[in-house]
Amino acid sequence: MNGEETTPFKRRQMTILMLPNDLLFNCLARISRLYYPTLSLVSTRFRSLLASTELYQTRTHLGRTERCLYVCFRLFTESDQLRWFTLCQGPFNSKKFLVPISSPNFPSASWSDAAIVGPNIYAIGGLVNKKYSSSVMVMDCYSHTWREAPSMHVARLSHSVCVHDGKIYVTGGCKNLDSTNWMEVFDTQTQTWEFLQIPSEEIFGGSKYRSVEYEGTVYVKSEAKDVTYKLHKGRWRTADIAINKGWWCPSLSHYCVIENVFYR
């Protein structure tokens, strides 16, 4: 018109990043967490969304929660540094690989033991500056950030940890072990520690114990005594022979229970 050329209308290209957060949460919640480490590389906004608690609230609302594997390796260096990894799915194939987890406030204790309650991993006790530690650090598996939790009453090393009904049972591992401090329990709801009375002097001896939660019951065994006790519905009892003989081996140092299946 009037001798001037009209500029053709340019259609604006739409991308997923132009969607509002609530729609992005709805989309991301339907994708397996195995792909999240790869998706976090798309942009800083994606990285922020994937670490948001709102995303995991959306996953829960949609019934899309899933279990993820976390692995901790100890590097035998001067600092005995711990490195945490999570399982990831490759973007172009079915291969899975471990991705390192980086955090600005990683716990300083080495030789700590770990417990898992809900979306949180608790790193308990260990060595700090070559001294027994009572410290407790918690990693939020959603954001992969660490925070401090209330410390134990007693500093512990080479202790045993198990979880039952939202409570963390920590046994043995302190220097001046006696019948009053042999075990303490952390309530993750009230965030408080308390000592648990020893079931019998028969189990008392040495400083090292092994414990495990199996079918709703906490089992505890002393390395020094050939006896296993179980804590069921708040009461201690002697464990049956099958459990006593089935999970203990002098050379056995690693074991776990997943969905009531015992692995060693």
Asked, for residue 46, whether it belongs to a domain, the answer is yes
59 sits in the region (left: phi over 0; alpha: psi -120 to 50; else beta) called alpha
Give residue 46's domain range.
17-62
Asked, for residue 165, whether it belongs to a domain, the answer is yes
Tell whether the model's pLDDT for residue 10 goes beyond 80.
Answer: no
What's the pLDDT at 252? 45
Based on the domain organization, do 114 and 221 belong to the same domain? yes
254 sits in the region (left: phi over 0; alpha: psi -120 to 50; else beta) called beta
Tell whether the model's pLDDT for residue 225 goes beyond 80.
Answer: no
3-state secondary structure of 82: strand
Tell whether the model's pLDDT for residue 67 goes beyond 90.
Answer: no
Based on the domain organization, do 25 and 153 belong to the same domain? no
Beta-bridge mates of residue 139: 121, 146
Based on the domain organization, do 124 and 212 belong to the same domain? yes
What's the pLDDT at 248? 53
How many domains is the chain built from?
A: 2
What's the pLDDT at 84? 86
What's the pLDDT at 13? 65
Burial label for 222, CB within 10 Å (0-12, 13-18, 19+), is buried
The two beta strands, 145-149 and 96-100, are unpaired
Based on the domain organization, do 122 and 48 belong to the same domain? no
pLDDT tens for 154-198 read 999 989 899 999 999 999 888 888 888 889 999 999 999 999 888
Based on the domain organization, do 132 and 206 belong to the same domain? yes
Tell whether the model's pLDDT for residue 152 goes beyond 80.
Answer: yes
The reported pTM is 0.79
